Structure 1
Amino acid sequence: MAKLPEIRLCVGTAGPQNLIATVWVASLLDAQLLEVRLAEKLPHLRIADRAVALRAVKLMGRLLDAEGRAVGYEQVDVWA
Protein backbone atom coordinates (compact mmCIF):
# COMPACT_ATOMS: atom_id res chain seq x y z
CA MET A 1 0.00 0.00 0.00
CA ALA A 2 2.86 2.39 0.72
CA LYS A 3 3.80 2.47 -2.97
CA LEU A 4 0.38 3.68 -4.10
CA PRO A 5 0.52 7.44 -4.77
CA GLU A 6 -3.03 8.00 -3.46
CA ILE A 7 -2.15 6.78 0.04
CA ARG A 8 -1.37 9.71 2.36
CA LEU A 9 -1.52 7.91 5.70
CA CYS A 10 -1.63 4.23 6.61
CA VAL A 11 -1.50 3.16 10.26
CA GLY A 12 -2.08 -0.04 12.17
CA THR A 13 -4.52 -0.14 15.07
CA ALA A 14 -5.67 -2.68 17.64
CA GLY A 15 -9.01 -4.38 17.14
CA PRO A 16 -10.96 -6.14 14.41
CA GLN A 17 -10.44 -3.27 11.95
CA ASN A 18 -6.69 -3.02 12.32
CA LEU A 19 -5.70 -0.65 9.52
CA ILE A 20 -6.68 2.96 8.82
CA ALA A 21 -5.79 4.65 5.55
CA THR A 22 -6.23 8.21 4.37
CA VAL A 23 -6.21 8.66 0.61
CA TRP A 24 -6.47 11.59 -1.78
CA VAL A 25 -8.38 10.97 -5.00
CA ALA A 26 -9.88 13.34 -7.56
CA SER A 27 -13.33 11.75 -7.78
CA LEU A 28 -15.66 9.13 -6.33
CA LEU A 29 -14.87 6.95 -9.35
CA ASP A 30 -11.17 7.14 -8.47
CA ALA A 31 -12.01 6.04 -4.93
CA GLN A 32 -13.91 3.02 -6.26
CA LEU A 33 -11.08 2.14 -8.65
CA LEU A 34 -8.58 2.35 -5.79
CA GLU A 35 -10.71 -0.04 -3.73
CA VAL A 36 -10.78 -2.47 -6.67
CA ARG A 37 -6.98 -2.28 -7.05
CA LEU A 38 -6.49 -2.85 -3.33
CA ALA A 39 -8.87 -5.84 -3.37
CA GLU A 40 -6.93 -7.36 -6.28
CA LYS A 41 -3.55 -6.91 -4.56
CA LEU A 42 -4.76 -7.78 -1.05
CA PRO A 43 -7.43 -10.50 -1.33
CA HIS A 44 -7.87 -10.74 2.48
CA LEU A 45 -8.60 -7.01 2.77
CA ARG A 46 -12.08 -6.11 3.98
CA ILE A 47 -13.16 -2.49 3.84
CA ALA A 48 -15.30 -1.97 6.93
CA ASP A 49 -16.10 1.72 6.48
CA ARG A 50 -15.30 4.75 4.38
CA ALA A 51 -15.91 8.48 4.62
CA VAL A 52 -15.67 10.99 1.80
CA ALA A 53 -14.94 14.70 2.08
CA LEU A 54 -16.47 16.23 -1.04
CA ARG A 55 -14.76 19.59 -0.75
CA ALA A 56 -11.72 20.85 1.11
CA VAL A 57 -11.60 24.51 2.08
CA LYS A 58 -7.95 24.32 3.10
CA LEU A 59 -5.21 21.86 2.18
CA MET A 60 -1.63 21.94 3.45
CA GLY A 61 -2.05 25.58 4.51
CA ARG A 62 -3.45 26.69 1.15
CA LEU A 63 -6.96 28.14 0.92
CA LEU A 64 -8.88 26.55 -1.95
CA ASP A 65 -11.64 27.83 -4.21
CA ALA A 66 -14.68 25.76 -5.27
CA GLU A 67 -12.61 24.14 -8.05
CA GLY A 68 -9.89 23.06 -5.62
CA ARG A 69 -7.32 25.60 -6.82
CA ALA A 70 -5.10 27.42 -4.34
CA VAL A 71 -6.22 31.03 -3.95
CA GLY A 72 -4.44 32.02 -0.76
CA TYR A 73 -2.31 30.91 2.12
CA GLU A 74 -3.05 30.76 5.82
CA GLN A 75 -0.08 31.01 8.14
CA VAL A 76 -0.20 28.19 10.68
CA ASP A 77 1.29 28.83 14.12
CA VAL A 78 2.46 25.38 15.19
CA TRP A 79 3.12 26.62 18.74
CA ALA A 80 -0.36 28.06 19.32
Structure 2
Amino acid sequence: MESASTLGFIAGILTTVAFIPQVVKIWKTKHATDISLGMFAIFSGGVLMWLFYGIEIDAMPVIVANAITLGLSMTILIFKIKYK
Protein backbone atom coordinates (compact mmCIF):
# COMPACT_ATOMS: atom_id res chain seq x y z
CA MET A 1 0.00 0.00 0.00
CA GLU A 2 1.43 3.38 -0.90
CA SER A 3 2.16 5.92 1.82
CA ALA A 4 -0.63 8.30 0.73
CA SER A 5 -3.21 5.55 1.16
CA THR A 6 -1.74 4.61 4.53
CA LEU A 7 -1.92 8.23 5.64
CA GLY A 8 -5.51 8.43 4.37
CA PHE A 9 -6.54 5.31 6.28
CA ILE A 10 -4.93 6.57 9.51
CA ALA A 11 -6.63 9.96 9.15
CA GLY A 12 -9.94 8.25 8.40
CA ILE A 13 -9.65 5.97 11.41
CA LEU A 14 -8.90 8.84 13.77
CA THR A 15 -11.68 11.12 12.55
CA THR A 16 -14.21 8.28 12.40
CA VAL A 17 -13.41 6.81 15.82
CA ALA A 18 -13.88 10.27 17.33
CA PHE A 19 -17.66 9.85 16.94
CA ILE A 20 -17.90 6.57 18.84
CA PRO A 21 -17.76 8.09 22.37
CA GLN A 22 -20.64 10.44 21.50
CA VAL A 23 -22.78 7.62 20.11
CA VAL A 24 -22.09 5.48 23.19
CA LYS A 25 -22.81 8.35 25.58
CA ILE A 26 -26.16 9.17 23.96
CA TRP A 27 -27.09 5.48 23.83
CA LYS A 28 -26.28 4.96 27.52
CA THR A 29 -27.86 8.17 28.85
CA LYS A 30 -30.79 8.31 26.41
CA HIS A 31 -30.17 12.06 26.41
CA ALA A 32 -29.37 14.11 23.29
CA THR A 33 -30.78 17.56 24.00
CA ASP A 34 -27.31 19.16 23.86
CA ILE A 35 -26.67 17.80 20.36
CA SER A 36 -27.38 20.24 17.54
CA LEU A 37 -29.80 18.71 15.06
CA GLY A 38 -28.90 21.31 12.41
CA MET A 39 -25.17 20.77 12.78
CA PHE A 40 -25.42 16.99 12.50
CA ALA A 41 -27.83 17.22 9.56
CA ILE A 42 -25.45 19.52 7.66
CA PHE A 43 -22.45 17.44 8.70
CA SER A 44 -24.14 14.23 7.52
CA GLY A 45 -24.87 15.85 4.16
CA GLY A 46 -21.21 16.84 3.85
CA VAL A 47 -20.03 13.34 4.75
CA LEU A 48 -22.42 11.90 2.16
CA MET A 49 -20.86 14.20 -0.46
CA TRP A 50 -17.35 13.08 0.62
CA LEU A 51 -18.49 9.48 0.23
CA PHE A 52 -19.74 10.18 -3.30
CA TYR A 53 -16.47 11.97 -4.05
CA GLY A 54 -14.45 9.01 -2.78
CA ILE A 55 -16.47 6.67 -4.96
CA GLU A 56 -16.02 8.95 -7.97
CA ILE A 57 -12.22 9.06 -7.62
CA ASP A 58 -12.01 5.44 -6.41
CA ALA A 59 -10.18 6.37 -3.20
CA MET A 60 -10.70 3.54 -0.74
CA PRO A 61 -9.55 5.47 2.37
CA VAL A 62 -12.11 8.21 1.61
CA ILE A 63 -14.85 5.69 0.87
CA VAL A 64 -14.33 3.57 3.98
CA ALA A 65 -13.88 6.46 6.41
CA ASN A 66 -16.88 8.38 5.15
CA ALA A 67 -19.17 5.36 4.92
CA ILE A 68 -18.50 4.55 8.57
CA THR A 69 -18.65 8.19 9.66
CA LEU A 70 -21.98 8.59 7.86
CA GLY A 71 -23.36 5.60 9.76
CA LEU A 72 -22.21 7.04 13.10
CA SER A 73 -23.48 10.51 12.26
CA MET A 74 -26.86 9.15 11.18
CA THR A 75 -27.01 7.17 14.43
CA ILE A 76 -26.52 10.40 16.37
CA LEU A 77 -29.25 12.08 14.29
CA ILE A 78 -31.65 9.21 14.96
CA PHE A 79 -30.85 9.35 18.69
CA LYS A 80 -31.37 13.13 18.64
CA ILE A 81 -34.85 12.69 17.19
CA LYS A 82 -35.70 9.67 19.36
CA TYR A 83 -34.50 11.15 22.67
CA LYS A 84 -35.91 14.67 22.20
Q: TM-score, normalised by structure 1?
A: 0.30
Higher strand share: 1
Q: TM-score, normalised by structure 2?
A: 0.29
Q: Report the structure number with the largest CA radius of gyration.
A: 1
Higher helix share: 2
